[in-house]
Copies of this chain bind each other. A is one copy, B any other.
Amino acid sequence: MTTDAFPTSPVREARLKMRQGQWTGPTKHTLPGYVKCNLVVLPRSDAYDFLVYCQRNPKPCPLIEVTDPGDPKPRISAPGADLRTDLPRYAIYRSGVRQEDVTDICHLWRDDSVAFLIGSGMTFDDALERAGVPKTTTWALTTTIPTVSAGRFAGPMVVTMRCMTPAQAVIACQLTGRFPFHHGAPIHMGDPAAIGVDLEHPLFGEPVTEFPQGVVPVFWACGVTPQQAAIHSKVELMIAHAPGHAFVTDLLADRVCLP
């Protein structure tokens, strides 16, 4: 890992700890400045439709990298890394049902496995904070906004919700619009019911009973959307990152474009 070919850096050291089982906690709010990614691993037989699904839904499913079948190495976004070991925690789904979490997936990796790295809103959280929009609780919620289907993959868009003042929301719209490969600008602000969000039943996070005075909820397309589509399709085997435990690439978020 830390040979001459891959000089050391905070993110490479962190991935090495994950590989060695010394880091099994979340990556959220860690390693500021590096692009973080949602992971989906599918068999090659499902990969074409999944790739088209991601293309058709660029806001929830921005593709950062797609590996060759059987190759666990993200050669563009994190040279030297291995997606079988270099995430702190993985969630396993069989026929759409979540199984045990694991800390490496070597035993599940196959010759026909294809890994998809999908942009994450975690990437712009640091940039928001630097711009004076403090980090707050983030919820993941299902909407009634349909995604565009491709083959077996379909379903509603999942969003993340952050609460902020209107002035912060204006800053957040401008700033996150600069990150088109990490969900971009919000897809909605204000009334959650307008996009069919049920605040009492978030996918992740505590139920929301009411918003503090003077605060507006702001909604971004979420990288959990394609995982949910794969779950709903009851795909035989899907390996994903465990929520909050995203893959951290070598890419610098502030460069705002892909290599």
A interface list, Cβ under 8 A from B: 47-48, 51-52, 55-56, 58-59, 63, 65-66, 68, 76, 148, 150, 177, 180-181, 184-185, 256-258
Contacts and interface: CB of A to CB of B under 8 A. Distances in A.
Contacts of A65: 55-56
A150 B58 CA distance: 21
Given A55-B66, A58-B181, A177-B256, 6 more contacts: A48-B51, A51-B52, A52-B68, A56-B76, A68-B150, A180-B257
Nearest to A116: B55
A194 to B, nearest CB: 18
A52 B66 contact: yes
A55 B47 contact: no
Given A51-B52, A66-B56, A257 B76 contact: no
Given A148-B76, A180-B180, A51 B55 contact: yes
B185 A58 contact: no
Contact of A185 (B48, B56, B257): B257
A116 to B, nearest CB: 9
A257 B59 contact: yes
A256 B68 CA distance: 31
A58 B180 CA distance: 12
Contacts of A48: 47-48, 51
Nearest to A67: B52
17 contacts: A48-B51, A51-B51, A51-B52, A52-B66, A52-B68, A55-B63, A55-B66, A56-B65, A56-B66, A56-B76, A59-B257, A59-B258, A68-B150, A76-B148, A180-B181, A184-B257, A185-B257
Contacts of A184: 257
Contacts of A148: 76
Contacts of A63: 55
A184 B52 CA distance: 22
